[in-house]
Amino acid sequence: MALFELRGLTKSFGDKHVLRGVDLTVDKGEFLTLIGPSASGKSVLLKLALGIFPSDGGSLLFEGRDITGLDEQSWIAVRRRVGILFQAGALFDSLSVFDNVAYGLREQRVLSADEIRQRVAESLTQVGLGGIEAMWPADLSGGMRKRVALARAVAMRPELLLYDEPTEGLDPINVTRVNRLLLSLRDRLEITTVVVTSNMASAFSVSDRVAFLNEGRIAAIGTPAEVAASPLPALGPFVRAAGSHVRAVHSSSRG
């Protein structure tokens, strides 16, 4: 079942036509990875999907409902169900880990202070960082910061989570750790997952489907094996970078 759908999405900045008609369907429960050259519009695509800025044309559907022209109030209701981990993964340096993770929950004004405390503890444990509430962002390693940012997103219990470069700048051990974490969040919390990454080994080993954004459109989409077998010349360097990591069997991790 389609959870989220982009239809004919276009976006230009001045005379730079970044997105020229993007069609993409994200199925409920899937792990979809978006790859593409630098500056091809991957981050822009995620921001459009979250209504951070409007597209020039095309439409967005959430559970089949057209959410394209929604007013700000209705967008807030959609955003409650969709989380995003920005490329910079920025934590507020002036706030403790606890306050960082609690931030969105407090804004939502749904949970009591006690419930927030519980949810923060639970979310930190889910990313393997239980008990570090009192620490400060400045005292964390890069990998830990990424995971705290992840805990902050997960704490909101989104149904769909968009990640922009979650493993950028991490060493191979942390890349593997974060990949496992994203998969387990999908499996345990049933969070539909869209990841933008430039790590081809990750893209081709953990995803149910890979989508290739090139020259403003989704130029190829399918299982890692299908995309790896595509004859599209522009894909060549990406597939070669994945090397032997291309997963042959579709979706073996799904229970």
Ligand X SMILES: Nc1ncnc2c1ncn2[C@@H]1O[C@H](COP(=O)(O)OP(=O)(O)OP(=O)(O)O)[C@@H](O)[C@H]1O
Q: Residue numbers of the site for ligand X (CB under 6 A)? A: 13, 16, 18, 36, 38-44, 198
3-state secondary structure of 241: helix
Residue 54 dihedral angles phi and psi, to the nearest 5°: -80, 155
- Taking CB within 5 to 8 Å according to partner kind, which of Mg ion, ligand X, none is near residue 44? ligand X
User: 110-140 burial string, b = 16+ CB within 10 Å, else e?
Assistant: ebeeeebeebbbebbebbebeebbebebeeb
Residue 207 dihedral angles phi and psi, to the nearest 5°: -85, 150
> Which of 38, 252 has the CB closer to ligand X?
38
Q: Segment near Mg ion (CB under 5 A), from 29-37, 42-50, 121-129, 197-205? A: 42-50
- Taking CB within 5 to 8 Å according to partner kind, which of ligand X, Mg ion, none is near residue 92? none
Alpha-carbon span 134 to 136, nearest angstrom: 7
Alpha-carbon span 161 to 129, nearest angstrom: 20
Smallest distance, Å, CB 77 to Mg ion? 27
- Taking CB within 5 to 8 Å according to partner kind, which of Mg ion, ligand X, none is near residue 13? ligand X
Q: Does 43 bind Mg ion (CB under 5 A)?
A: yes
Beta strands 209-214; 192-196: pairing state: unpaired
> Which of 175, 196 has the CB closer to Mg ion?
196
Q: Which DSSP string corresponds to 181-202?
A: HHHHHHHHH--EEEEE-S-HHH
> Which of 41, 158 has the CB closer to ligand X?
41
Which residue sits closest to ligand X, CB atoms considered? 43
Q: Does 198 bind Mg ion (CB under 5 A)?
A: no
- Taking CB within 5 to 8 Å according to partner kind, which of ligand X, Mg ion, none is near residue 39? ligand X
- Taking CB within 5 to 8 Å according to partner kind, which of Mg ion, ligand X, none is near residue 41? ligand X
